[in-house]
Structure 1
Amino acid sequence: MGKKVKKESNSPYKETFESNLNVVIKTPATAVLLLRSPEEDILIKACELIYTFADKGDESKVSLLGLGALEPLCQLITHNSKLVRRNAFIALGTMATNGDVKVALSKTDVIPLIIDKLSLEDDAVIHEFATLCLASLSVSFTSKAQVFDNNGLPPLVKLLSSPDPDVKKNSLEVIFNLVQDFHSCLAIRELGAIRPLLELLNSDFPVIQHLALKILQNITTDKDTQIAFREEHGFDRVIDMLNNMRFRDLHADAVQVVANCLCDDESVQLIHKDGGLIRLMGFLLTPSTPEIQSSAVKCIARVAHSSEGCSVLHEQNVEKVLVELLCVEDVTVKTSACQAVAAMSFHLASKDRFRDLGGIPVVVQSLSSECAALREEATQALSSLTFKNKPSVFAVFEVGGHEILIQRLCESCSRTVAKAAATLCNMAQYEVIRCSILSHGAVPALVEPLKSTDTQVLVNTTLCLGVLLCETGAMTEFKRAGGLQPLVSLLQSNHKEVLHNTCFAVNVFASDKPSAVEICKYGAVEMLQDINQSVNRRSSLSKLTLVNLLNTNLSLKYNVTGLLAATDIISDGFYDAGKADAGHRVLTLEELSEQPVNHCRPIIVINTTEKKTEVDRQEHKTKTESPADKMWNMIDVPLQSLIQKVKESILPLHEKEQYTALARLVSEVMGDAVEKEKLHGFPWVSHLNELKFQLQSNIIPIGSINKGFYCHRALLFKCLADCIGMSCTLVRGEYNRAWNEVLLFEGNPQPCRYIVDLMHEPGRLLAAGTAAAVAYQTI
């Protein structure tokens, strides 16, 4: 144990054998048998021989175990004779250092007996070997619990003040084993152990200093213990050790204790008032080993998490030290320095100074390190440095940091990916950088992180996407990379930020009709409806996203809401597939066209232009086109003619006359007026079935319908009105009813609402809310 030498003058067994005992013991087996002798002198001699034999090595200890020495030795430690007890403890403690003996001893009930003697005995030799025995046993969880439950900590704490260094060392080992459990840590504080532990830091024996530091390291994780530690001036004592180069081999452990002391703002403030932080900075500037430097920088990072601590460190020019440490070869020091940079970067002045000192290029270089931990902390540092700081953003951009950050998006470490996405998002706020980020493949690189299960990765990735997708071509690139489906699936998230950012990104796509259609294909509308029905998940953004998505896809809007406003202008490609079933995704027109002819209601489509381009026709030249495909892509010639007629004959009329004339025209082409009493005989159902059979398709162009019901007439009216700029709504009712509502001022300051009769008295305008209007809208 370092400086300690054997205390020959106090040897217990020399004092024991000055009697005239003429017993000769030649074998260990004989010595074990004599442990049951009633004679004290024989017991003393037998214990001495067992110790001598056991001290030869593990083989001897195991041999004694086999001979049955444990049981009588455990009994003899409570013998009436002090000399017998002393020698029995020496033998038992020596044997207990062997693993097999330790296991066997742990199965006995010897621990309460040993603790009892610790409390009552004043013999240093007994203390030494009793604590040696406990030090061996307390490694196991069961034995630790026994020591604690039998009130073993109080005598052990008391023995920390023993004049014998071996007793101190053994007691420290037992305490160290016990404080691995939290309840023992609390008990140590309550027993007033902090003061003797701090005194042992001045020991002449490094092993004692080391154990005392290890125990302090464990117990100072508790806030109340930190307070007690501070009241005993423990922080100053440990800093003194750090500033003493004679204790360099203990600095790593001492720094860990310091780190615990700096765990909260209150502690940092109190330590700073006593000048502790300045002394810590002084230690940081002292040359040391990489391990100790790394631990010291971690302390700095911990201090920097408080605003006051950060200010103090800034005053001490810690940024310059960190830049220097980022340039050393040791990876662990660089990693810790990046952690400290990230913490300091919450302080604006530090952020600026760090950039001015040329620290950003050094951190960017660390992004390419072979060490995953360094890459992780470097991305964290850049994320903090670039947050709401334009100069730092451009400093990263100038050294090509965004290119490396895009590469980091494919890391296996979730934290690296999350912080890389966050930094890219910070940089993408500026157009010139945003374009460069996109040119280096950021959008495809963000697709895989969307599939992550890590919440922070999803939060940062979706936010970054929302910013990047605003640029021309980004949406196309994202769709080509297969990003739409994983993005839409995140609408099922219950995490508030993930959901908000996903709605933000989806809302960007809602402005582009092809993208909106594809997003709806993945069930975005149904998911958003579910979100908006939830009190906890809905938000103004989720509502806006659904509205914008439906406004871009009017077919879906009418299908889901049953209402098109006057501002919703029907165009080619619009289709009416009937009222949507709750919980079921609305199929696209392409999907509907692939279905075989069935008995369901037909899909009414509006199309006056051929959908396929010349490229599409060349690609499908060799393929057989189904009747449904032909119908979907066919120009609706009758509708074209009708639109031309409306432009020529109705557009020139006055407003009210326009509505009346258009209503009569729609009625004329859809089978003329039908009396209410004869509605049941109007053959619109059979007519549509015939059309489906003739066309061999579930899709029917609206211009082909000659006998249309309320729903068909209202749709045609809306379509034609939109073509010539007339304002009207389209509302779906129950049982195939639908109607159009128009606004007419007629010289009044407030417009009046009317329902247009297209069925019974075509052209008649029914004041909304009147009995006539209600009768038209319902059965």
Structure 2
Amino acid sequence: MLNSPEEEILAKACEAIYKFALKGEENKATLLELGAVEPLTKLLIHEDKIVKRNATMIFGILTSNNDVKKLLRELDVMDSVIAQLAPEEEVVTHEFASLCLANMSAEYTGKVQICEHGGLEPLIRLLNSPDPDVQKNSIESLYNLVQDFQCRIALQELNAIPSMLALLKSDYPVIQLLTLKTLGVITNDKESLTMLRDNQGLDQLIKILESKELNDLHTEALSVIANCLEDADTRVLIQQTGGLQKLLSFAESSTIPDIQKNAAKAITKAAYDSENRKFFHEQEVEKCLVTLLGSESDGTKIAASQAISVMCESSGSKRLFNNHGIPQLIQLLKSDNEEVREAAALALANLTTCNPASAKNFKKYVKKWNQKMSLKINSGTKLLPLKELCLQELNHRRAVLLINSKSSDISRFSTGFGSPTEEKSEPTSGRNTVLSKSATKEKGPRKGRGRREEEKAKEEEEVLAVPKLTGEGTLDKEWYPPSDPDFCIYVYEVTKSILPITNIKEQIEVLAKYVAEKMGGKIAKEKMISFGWELHISELKFQLKSNVVPIGQIKKGIFYHRALLFKALADRIGLSCSLVRGEYGRAWNEVKLVNVSPKAATGGFSLPDVYIVDLMFHPGALMKLGTKEADLYRFL
């Protein structure tokens, strides 16, 4: 009947098919099998309005089926569907055409087709429709579309923000929620943030937070406000309107994990500004964040840890976290969730950096915790204490990499958790015996040959005096971890040559080249297979008669060896960076740099960008996170 030349028959056939499709997914699949889709597409451009409307209604229902969507993409009917959004069409036609686009936009290819065929403009126009179903379908379509960066750019050009903000006053929660979700995505872009602020969007967001009746919207509203806090001008406006105080109130009083999480995220973004940190400190936000560390939600724990990391820029906050935050953060290091452990470790690193009091407090807690507990990791196996790892017989597993910048002063031994300030302090003897080789080279000409030989002999005696693991697997009365004189020399050299560099970007580049040089130099991608690092590590394990290998002894290292060494040395000179673990032996370092822009030059605020440090192929090169070259470095 869909091929009938009579309009009345076509209209009734479409009406019957629509009712049949409404009954469930099985019926939609049946219509597809019977070949109904292709003749229906021709009716979307039929001259009779009723026939066209009924055909559009069918596609609004059918496109929830993935196979139907796939066929429609192949038939390229997007122009015909978008044409049904024209102002002269009936509201019912608008409803089902927009529903069709909402279903189609859920997949990437559908997004591309909608944008390429000019679907954004009519969808934005229909946000002002008097019909709530049309509004709901249109904003849902836009929410799906703005997941794509190009669509977000087009949305800004079409000035969609005012129409979206109007939907926040809708009587229908689903429309308000979809609108907030869409705003949460597009306000990641600076231009959209400015448009939101210029159209009094902040006032509406604050009013939503103030309304207890709208508590189902608070989570998403907080998410949008968190994005707004990325912008300096918007931050000032939020503080002036009392928004920061409301963030604290939500973080402290809410029992809903998502609200707690988003409030903590908003605090994190606001705390990048020193004035906001001062305000939060005066309001004792530290107590609130420590409380959130005890949440049952992993997302809240991560967000609270990240907020603590940023608040640690304030010395006053560090003092408070020193007494109350360290034990809780250490507990999070035992979490089964890798992201929780990572966030807690970063918070502890920022808390103890250049803060001897916190570092000492941390060591007190962590020493007790290594002694008494074993961590559980994803595989369900236990991470053994260092002493037991050193005593194990040789095996074929990946070597355990050890960071140890002490050889004879075991009281200040650190396995990577210590404060850079404490690591660089000198022993009571007046000099660091491990570094004396390099120091002697510097001072020798002024002191004379006899003095150099005397110091060298003394140094060798002290190094040899350090207790070693015996071949029989027994220990002296007091056990000491394997020393790493090469790593100690690395620390000395980078402290002397890289720490004085005032430009952070240059520091990163020079350190990256230094690390690559110590680990075998630049490697061409096509020569990775023949680099021979695996044999080198195996030989080290055999020579040491241990599965534990000090990082300084590795002279042929790949991604994760170099990334660990870079992180260890960066920590020693106070250079901020993250160590990120990927899959299949990949690991990398992330750094944050603020680009100099015209606005920054005139005193404006510029957010830092995240870069991956190349330690393998072009040592010292910085690849912006999210770019193709950065992804190629991180993933196989």
1:400 is aligned, of 365, 368, 388, to 365
Q: Kindly provide the amino acid, as one letter, of the partner of residue 176 in structure 2.
A: Q
Following superposition, the deviation at residue 100 of structure 1 comes to 1.9
SS of residue paired to 2:168: helix
Q: How does 1:338-487 map to 2 (within 5 A)?
A: 338-355=305-322, 358-397=324-363, 399-401=364-366, 404=369, 436-438=411-413, 442=414, 445=415, 464=423, 470=432, 477=466, 481=482, 483-484=484-485
Q: Kindly provide the amino acid, as one letter, of the partner of residue 437 in structure 1.
A: R
Give the aligned partner of residue 122 of structure 2: 155
2:295 and 2:214 map into 1 onto residues whose CA distance is: 24
Shift of the 401–281 alpha-carbon distance from structure 1 to 2, 3 Å rule, reads same
Following superposition, the deviation at residue 476 of structure 1 comes to 6.0
- TM-superposition CA deviations, 1:575-626 (whole Å, max 9, x none): xxxxxxxxxxxxxxxxxxxxxxxxxxxxxxxxxxxxxxxxxxxxxxxxxxxx
1:488 and 1:248 map into 2 onto residues whose CA distance is: 58
1:243 and 1:478 map into 2 onto residues whose CA distance is: 65
Q: How does 1:449-528 map to 2 (within 5 A)?
A: 464=423, 470=432, 477=466, 481=482, 483-484=484-485, 496-497=510-511
2:337 and 2:466 map into 1 onto residues whose CA distance is: 32
Q: How does 1:756-775 map to 2 (within 5 A)?
A: none
Give the aligned partner of residue 570 of structure 1: none
1:387 and 1:378 map into 2 onto residues whose CA distance is: 14
Shift of the 382–59 alpha-carbon distance from structure 1 to 2, 3 Å rule, reads closer
Higher RCO, 1 vs 2 (CA within 8 Å, ≥6 residues apart): 2
Q: Kindly provide the amino acid, as one letter, of the partner of residue 483 in structure 1.
A: D
**2:204 pairs with 1:237:** yes
**2:216 pairs with 1:249:** yes
1:149 and 1:77 map into 2 onto residues whose CA distance is: 19
Do the aligned residues in 2 keep the contact of 1:403 with 1:437 (CA within 8 Å)?
Answer: no
Shift of the 367–64 alpha-carbon distance from structure 1 to 2, 3 Å rule, reads closer
Give the aligned partner of residue 661 of structure 1: none
- TM-score between the two structures when normalised by the length of structure 2: 0.61
2:360 and 2:485 map into 1 onto residues whose CA distance is: 31
Shift of the 461–503 alpha-carbon distance from structure 1 to 2, 3 Å rule, reads farther
Give the aligned partner of residue 181 of structure 1: 148
Q: How does 1:284-295 map to 2 (within 5 A)?
A: 284-295=251-262
Indicate the RMSD between aligned Cα atoms, in angstroms.
4.2
SS of residue paired to 2:253: coil
Q: How many residues get paired?
A: 444
2:25 and 2:149 map into 1 onto residues whose CA distance is: 34
Q: Kindly provide the amino acid, as one letter, of the partner of residue 45 in structure 2.
A: T
Following superposition, the deviation at residue 462 of structure 1 comes to 13
SS of residue paired to 1:195: helix
Shift of the 181–370 alpha-carbon distance from structure 1 to 2, 3 Å rule, reads closer
Give the aligned partner of residue 38 of structure 2: 71
1:395 and 1:134 map into 2 onto residues whose CA distance is: 58
**2:149 pairs with 1:199:** no
1:501 and 1:58 map into 2 onto residues whose CA distance is: 59
Q: Kindly provide the amino acid, as one letter, of the partner of residue 48 in structure 1.
A: E
1:279 is aligned, of 225, 246, 259, to 246
Shift of the 307–501 alpha-carbon distance from structure 1 to 2, 3 Å rule, reads farther
Do the aligned residues in 2 keep the contact of 1:239 with 1:280 (CA within 8 Å)?
Answer: no
2:305 and 2:485 map into 1 onto residues whose CA distance is: 35
Shift of the 407–484 alpha-carbon distance from structure 1 to 2, 3 Å rule, reads farther
1:90 is aligned, of 57, 62, 71, to 57
Q: How does 1:131-142 map to 2 (within 5 A)?
A: 131-142=98-109
Give the aligned partner of residue 711 of structure 1: none
**2:187 pairs with 1:220:** yes
**2:21 pairs with 1:54:** yes
Shift of the 464–65 alpha-carbon distance from structure 1 to 2, 3 Å rule, reads same
- TM-superposition CA deviations, 1:61-95 (whole Å, max 9, x none): 22222333222322222222222221121123222
Q: Kindly provide the amino acid, as one letter, of the partner of residue 379 in structure 1.
A: A
1:475 and 1:187 map into 2 onto residues whose CA distance is: 69
2:172 and 2:284 map into 1 onto residues whose CA distance is: 37
2:303 and 2:467 map into 1 onto residues whose CA distance is: 37
- TM-superposition CA deviations, 1:100-133 (whole Å, max 9, x none): 2221112112111121221243311000111111
Do the aligned residues in 2 keep the contact of 1:367 with 1:378 (CA within 8 Å)?
Answer: yes
2:164 and 2:185 map into 1 onto residues whose CA distance is: 12
Do the aligned residues in 1 keep the contact of 2:336 with 2:377 (CA within 8 Å)?
Answer: no
Give the aligned partner of residue 275 of structure 2: 308
- TM-superposition CA deviations, 1:416-454 (whole Å, max 9, x none): x9xxxxxxxxxx99xxxx75333xxx4xx56xxxxxxxx
Gapped runs of 5+ residues in structure 2?
A: 384-404, 435-461, 470-481, 499-507, 519-549, 556-636
SS of residue paired to 2:47: coil
Give the aligned partner of residue 509 of structure 1: none
Gapped runs of 5+ residues in structure 1?
A: 1-33, 418-427, 447-456, 505-518, 525-779
2:170 and 2:127 map into 1 onto residues whose CA distance is: 11
- TM-superposition CA deviations, 1:469-504 (whole Å, max 9, x none): 937967865986273567789999995336779999
2:91 and 2:175 map into 1 onto residues whose CA distance is: 17
2:246 and 2:192 map into 1 onto residues whose CA distance is: 22
Following superposition, the deviation at residue 214 of structure 1 comes to 1.6
1:350 and 1:79 map into 2 onto residues whose CA distance is: 69
Give the aligned partner of residue 609 of structure 1: none
1:409 and 1:476 map into 2 onto residues whose CA distance is: 31
SS of residue paired to 1:139: coil
Shift of the 370–181 alpha-carbon distance from structure 1 to 2, 3 Å rule, reads closer
Give the aligned partner of residue 551 of structure 1: none
Do the aligned residues in 2 keep the contact of 1:435 with 1:471 (CA within 8 Å)?
Answer: no
SS of residue paired to 1:207: helix
Do the aligned residues in 1 keep the contact of 2:309 with 2:346 (CA within 8 Å)?
Answer: yes
Do the aligned residues in 2 keep the contact of 1:351 with 1:385 (CA within 8 Å)?
Answer: yes
Shift of the 224–314 alpha-carbon distance from structure 1 to 2, 3 Å rule, reads same
1:250 and 1:344 map into 2 onto residues whose CA distance is: 27
Do the aligned residues in 2 keep the contact of 1:335 with 1:374 (CA within 8 Å)?
Answer: yes
Do the aligned residues in 1 keep the contact of 2:60 with 2:97 (CA within 8 Å)?
Answer: yes
Shift of the 489–401 alpha-carbon distance from structure 1 to 2, 3 Å rule, reads closer
Shift of the 46–362 alpha-carbon distance from structure 1 to 2, 3 Å rule, reads closer
State the identity %: 39
2:137 is aligned, of 153, 170, 192, to 170
SS of residue paired to 1:349: helix
Shift of the 331–263 alpha-carbon distance from structure 1 to 2, 3 Å rule, reads same
1:129 is aligned, of 58, 75, 96, to 96
Do the aligned residues in 2 keep the contact of 1:172 with 1:212 (CA within 8 Å)?
Answer: yes
Q: Kindly provide the amino acid, as one letter, of the partner of residue 340 in structure 2.
A: L
